[in-house]
Amino acid sequence: MPLVTRWTGPLASAVLALLVLAPVAALLWHAGHADFSHWQHLATHVLPSASRNTLWLLLGVGVFVCVIGTGTAWLVTAYRFPGRNVLVWALLLPMAMPSYVIAYAYLDLLHPIGPVQSLVRDLLGYASPRDFRLPDIRSLPGAVLLLGLVLYPYVYLSARFMFMSQSASLMEAARTLGCSRAAAFWRVALPMARPAVVIGLTLALLETLNDIGASEFLGVRTMTVAVYNTWVTRSDLGGAAQIALLMLLLVVALILLERRARKRQRFATTQRMRPMAPHVLHGASAALALVLGSVPVILGFLAPAGYLLAAALQRLSQTDSGISQALWQSLFNTVLLAAMVTVLTLACGLLLTWQARLLVTGRRAGWATACARIASLGYAVPGTILAIGLLAPMALIDQSISWLVQQPSLWLMGSSAAIVLACSLRFLAIPVGGIEAGLTRIAPSLEQASRSLGHSTLSTLWRVHLPLLRPAMAAAALLVFVDAMKELPATLLLRPLNFETLATSLYAEASRGTYEEGAIAALAIVAAGLLPVILLARTRLAIDAGRAHVPPDSAVARIHASQVQAA
């Protein structure tokens, strides 16, 4: 192996792992050097309500996504009815709706003088909102409902994979022993699917902790909102770091609970399993199944997306200038930012996984694998915590660059490079998991043949690995690009002056209450989010067409493996 490969690759892998660990070390430093006189105020007036709201939000969202995700997964797997083939992929559509976008949409839809409540009052004969109004969506139950509607697909996807891979003989044995269909589900299918359900639940709860826009829009003061307000409003970086550390402990606790919940869950077979045949429904039962399966799709995607489309068209019809120049600039910034994050994460993910592939034995093999695992931890860290933790490392880098060029300036913190770095560290787990899954499908004999023909390691990577890794890298690039477009917390906290993305523009418009102005930005974010959903849906249809088991090299398997590995 050339000297540049032997030493440069492992060194770069170690640097990437240290970059992921640096925010945590910086948080500890900020928290330890903070003025603890503020801590009494935080502990008395901020943390009790923020902790209580966060725990209730996690509990509510957890119950909601488990019930809806597992229920819909079993419905479309165990039963066949008219419209079922559409529901199989339509139930994935809420994944395209970021939490802050659905909160933004429903705030206007369910406003006391909004279209829904106005229609209800007209039907009931009331003339004024003072006479009749629906419960306010700006509440903790409202946040649970809206977050659950966009996060249940995590559980749906995991549970459906598990239900499809279960053997029909197990369910048939339960039925022959006198179990009804409902009893067989509770006593056989659900216990076997519990590891997958727990994985999806953990991902949903991590996304709930990362949320800042929906919680703030809905008036729920969670720990994430407390971190943002403590840093931005009160200019107390040390206090924000102390709250962020508590959040990080909560994240670690969630991951440890997930690991413990499926520690002893092992199911294996040496025979090719026959998938269970769906039970055909007719008449009222089929209609009820279609309605139950359609409600999450309507509430989680069709209603808010329809509102955004109508509001965007109304906004465009009211002005002769069309889309404002500021929004075009936000769109350009968003695409440019997402493209840079995608290129950087793909390059780093390829480096990490390629090093682990090269060093398959020896002491350095364990080192390369450990670096890849550490670099994947960023996905489990909420964007707010990551942004605060990166302040000290980026300030140190800025000082070092200024010393080298003898020109003081904010090289990282004063530009979009800070956002690119934060998003890259957060989403690095996606290409690491996807490319690693793709590399496992490449036989070592191909590399050996290439080396025997005189090709170097780099030439083998270029001529053998990269062409075969193209599907895995394309799927990872798509996911990273869309996630970077939707990222709000890190972008909101690290953006330089006069730098807006679609997400921050929408946040600003919602904060001002000018919902029509932000509808176009929200619609663009949703349209971008549809891309990975289409990819997932196409793979789902291919699986349903003739394969009971998820192909290990399919786009869905790689996507889900990267998310699970991140947790």
Confidence class of residue 365 from pLDDT cuts 50, 70 and 90?
low
CA angle 242, 248, 252 (to 5 degrees): 150
Output the pLDDT for position 2.
Answer: 46
How many C-beta neighbours within 10 Å does residue 157 have? 24
Output the pLDDT for position 65.
Answer: 95
Rounded Cα gap, residues 286 and 54, in angstroms: 39
Q: Which of 132-146, 358-372, 508-522, 526-540 has the lowest mean pLDDT?
A: 358-372
How many C-beta neighbours within 10 Å does residue 560 have? 23
How many C-beta neighbours within 10 Å does residue 417 have? 18
Going by the DSSP 8-state scheme, the letter that residue 79 receives in this structure is E
With 60 as the cut, is the pLDDT of residue 564 above it? no
pLDDT above 70 as % of the chain: 82
Residue-wise pLDDT for 201-257, tens only, equals 888 888 898 888 888 888 898 888 888 888 777 777 777 888 888 888 888 787 777
Output the pLDDT for position 263.
Answer: 61
Same CATH fold assignment for domains 1-26+319-567 and 34-107+136-263+294-318: yes
Tokens 């640096």 sit on residue: 22
Give CA 501 to chain center in angstroms: 18
With 50 as the cut, is the pLDDT of residue 563 above it? no
The CATH code of domain 34-107+136-263+294-318 reads: 1.10.3720.10
Whether residue 387 contacts residue 489, with contact meaning beta carbons closer than 8 Å, is answered with: yes
Residue-wise pLDDT for 466-503, tens only, equals 787 887 788 788 878 888 888 888 888 888 878 888 88
Output the pLDDT for position 387.
Answer: 83
Q: Which of 425-429, 450-454, 557-561 has the lowest mean pLDDT?
A: 557-561
Domain boundaries, the chain: 1-26+319-567, 34-107+136-263+294-318
User: Please, which residues have CB within 8 angstroms of residue 97's CB and are 6 or more apart in sequence?
Assistant: 149, 150, 300, 301, 304, 305, 526, 529
Confidence class of residue 551 from pLDDT cuts 50, 70 and 90?
very low
How many C-beta neighbours within 10 Å does residue 66 have? 19
Output the pLDDT for position 361.
Answer: 44
Output the pLDDT for position 72.
Answer: 94
If you write DSSP's letter for every residue of 231-279 in order, what string do you get? IIIT--HHHHHHHHHHHHHHHHHHHHHHHHHTTT-----SSPPPBPPPE
Rg (CA), the chain: 25
Look at residues 294, 304, 320 and name the one whose alpha carbon lies nearest to residue 110: 304
Q: How far is CA 58 from CA 134, 152, 352, 389, in A?
A: 25, 13, 33, 24
Residue-wise pLDDT for 43-69, tens only, equals 777 788 888 999 999 999 999 999 999
Output the pLDDT for position 556.
Answer: 41
Residue-wise pLDDT for 11-33, tens only, equals 767 777 777 788 888 888 877 77
Phi, psi at residue 236, to the nearest 5°? -115, 85
Q: Identify the architecture of domain 1-26+319-567 in CATH.
A: Orthogonal Bundle (1.10)
- For CA atoms 499, 500, 504, 510, give the dihedral sign: positive
How many C-beta neighbours within 10 Å does residue 537 have? 18
Output the pLDDT for position 192.
Answer: 79
Rounded Cα gap, residues 471 and 400, in angstroms: 39
Output the pLDDT for position 168.
Answer: 67
Q: How far is CA 560 from CA 429, 430, 455, in A?
A: 11, 9, 34
Rounded Cα gap, residues 39 and 42, in angstroms: 5
Output the pLDDT for position 36.
Answer: 67
Output the pLDDT for position 275.
Answer: 65
User: Please, which residues have CB within 8 angstroms of residue 438's CB and are 6 or more apart in sequence?
Assistant: 468, 469, 471, 472, 473, 553, 558
Tokens 């994944």 sit on residue: 95
Q: How far is CA 87 from CA 78, 83, 156, 297, in A?
A: 13, 6, 12, 8
Output the pLDDT for position 567.
Answer: 42
- Mean pLDDT along residues 405-415: 77
Rounded Cα gap, residues 353 and 369, in angstroms: 8
Stronger pLDDT, 552 or 196, i.e. the higher one: 196
Look at residues 311, 296, 250, 305 and name the one whose alpha carbon lies nearest to residue 146: 296
Output the pLDDT for position 147.
Answer: 94
Confidence class of residue 539 from pLDDT cuts 50, 70 and 90?
low
Output the pLDDT for position 559.
Answer: 44
| Average pLDDT, rounded, for the chain | 78
Residue-wise pLDDT for 132-146, tens only, equals 788 888 899 999 999
End-to-end CA distance of the chain: 34
- Mean pLDDT along residues 319-327: 73
Q: Which of 142-156, 515-529, 546-560 has the lowest mean pLDDT?
A: 546-560
